């Protein structure tokens, strides 16, 4: 099963059936597009078959809850910085572009502030800023970066894990919902 073929199915039921008919290797590859944590993608592939979208999302949440800091850091590798184009291709890159679409402002000064805040964040924590950006404006994201810069590294890696969990849930839904 190729991710593109999966997403071309017409109904949620057909997509779920395609998911359930895929091999473990195909599922691992597909779930790696949802979240770049190898552990999470492998654990999810082993959970098949799935009874429903809710079952898929519940198992996704359960698998994510068993991940630890190295897995959270691994997941960050699949995300571009907000406002930057992904250097990757495939579902993950397409999803990131759409998820960040409201964070694309015509205001060059605002975009520069966001870029600088993210660079400051990276210098402090050693990883990119991650937020479930769906529906958030550039101003909201900038405020979140500035607020989270006050966190300790231990607090922030926990916040990153929470945000990735939200992203996982949205992307799992996108796999099934036409």
Contacts of 121 (CB under 8 A, 6+ apart): 128, 129, 145, 148, 149
Q: How many CB atoms lie within 10 A of CB 52?
A: 12
> Which is nearest to 56 in space by CA: 175, 140, 151?
175
The one catalytic residue among 32, 36, 79, 143: 79
User: Is the CB of residue 121 less than 8 Å from the CB of residue 114?
Assistant: no
> What is the rounded CA–CA span in Å between residue 99 and residue 134?
5
Q: Is 143 a catalytic residue?
A: no
Query: Catalytic positions, please?
Result: 79
């Amino acid at each position: 099963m190729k991710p593109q073929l999966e997403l071309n199915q017409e109904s949620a039921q057909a997509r779920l059936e395609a998911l359930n008919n895929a091999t473990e290797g195909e599922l691992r590859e597909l779930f790696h597009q949802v979240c770049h944590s190898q552990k999470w993608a492998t654990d999810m592939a082993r959970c098949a078959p799935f009874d429903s979208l809710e079952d898929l999302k519940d198992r996704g949440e359960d698998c994510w809850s068993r991940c630890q800091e190295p897995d959270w850091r691994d997941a960050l590798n699949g995300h571009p910085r907000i406002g930057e184009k992904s250097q990757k291709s495939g579902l993950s890159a397409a999803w990131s572009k759409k998820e960040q679409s409201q964070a694309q402002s015509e205001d060059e000064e605002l975009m520069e502030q966001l870029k600088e805040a993210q660079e400051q964040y990276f210098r402090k924590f050693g990883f990119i800023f991650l937020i479930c950006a769906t529906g958030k404006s550039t101003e909201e994201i900038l405020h979140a970066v500035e607020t989270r810069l006050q966190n300790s590294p231990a607090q922030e890696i926990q916040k990153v894990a929470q945000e990735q969990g939200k992203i996982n849930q949205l992307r799992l839904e996108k796999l099934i919902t036409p």
